[in-house]
Chain A
Amino acid sequence: GDSVTQMEGPVTLSEEAFLTINCTYTATGYPSLFWYVQYPGEGLQLLLKATKADDKGSNKGFEATYRKETTSFHLEKGSVQVSDSAVYFCALSVDTGGFKTIFGAGTRLFVKA
C-alpha cells in the first residue's frame, strides 16, 4: 500500500543553520506531495506542496522538489530561525475515491538561539 517514510527526530540545529528533512514515499499512481507543519497546541497547516514530477514547492524559505525517479520529497531551508521549531510532516494524497492522505510519522525540529 501507499506509505511515507521520513527521518526520525528530533533534529536540533542552531539558528541560521541549514535544514534538510528527508522524505521518501511509495505510491501507486501519481500522488500529490505535501509538507505540513504543526506548532505546539495547534493542528497541522500546509507548508508547501507539489502536484507533479519535478515541481518545486516553496513557502517561507522552505523548499521541496518532487523527485519521481527517487520517490523523494526532501524539505530544505537555507537558514533556520527559532520560530521554525515545530513538528514537520511529509504526506501524500491520491484520488482513491476519498482523497485520503498518508502522513509520515513527523520530525520534530528544535532550533537554538
Chain B
Amino acid sequence: NAGVTQTPKFRVLKTGQSMTLLCAQDMNHEYMYWYRQDPGMGLRLIHYSVGEGTTAKGEVPDGYNVSRLKKQNFLLGLESAAPSQTSVYFCASRNGEEGQPQHFGDGTRLSIL
C-alpha cells in the first residue's frame, strides 16, 4: 500500500518563487491536512480539508493556499516564497470515524534562499 505520497521530497527555492507541493492518498480518506514542522515547535496545521472541494484554514495559513479538486489529492501552494517558509512539510489523511489516527507522508524538505 502506498498510503500517503508527497512530491517532491526536497526542493530549494529562491525568495519570491512559487511552487506547489502535491499530496496523494489511496485510502479513500475524507479528511486531509497540511502541517509544517520546525525545530522545537512540533507540528503546526496550515490548512485542512473535510472533503473534496472544501478547504479550511488552520493555525498558520498565511502565505499558503490549498486546493482539493479530487478526493485523493491535496495541493499546497506557495505563491511567493519567503525564507520564513523554510521547513519540513507533512501531509496527512484520515477517515471520518472517531478515534482514528492520521496517516502521514514522509515529508517535503523545502529551503527558501
- Chain A residues close to B by CB (< 8 Å): 32, 34, 36, 41-46, 49, 51, 89, 93, 95, 97-101, 103-106
Contacts and interface: CB of A to CB of B under 8 A. Distances in A.
Contacts of B41: 105
A16 to B, nearest CB: 29
Nearest to A34: B101
B90 A99 contact: no
Contact of A51 (B50, B58, B98, B106): B98
Contacts of B74: none
A45 B96 contact: no
A24 to B, nearest CB: 15
Contacts of A93: 99, 101-102
B106 A100 contact: no
A25 to B, nearest CB: 13
Contact of B48 (A41, A45, A100, A105): A100
Given A51-B98, A98-B50, A44 B42 contact: no
Contacts of B45: 100
Interface residues of B, number: 26
Nearest to B54: A98
Given A103-B42, A103-B43, A105-B40, A98 B99 contact: no
Given A98-B50, A98-B56, A32 B98 contact: yes
Contact of B105 (A36, A43, A97, A98): A43
B104 interface: yes
A105 B90 contact: no
Contacts of B58: 100
B7 to A, nearest CB: 14
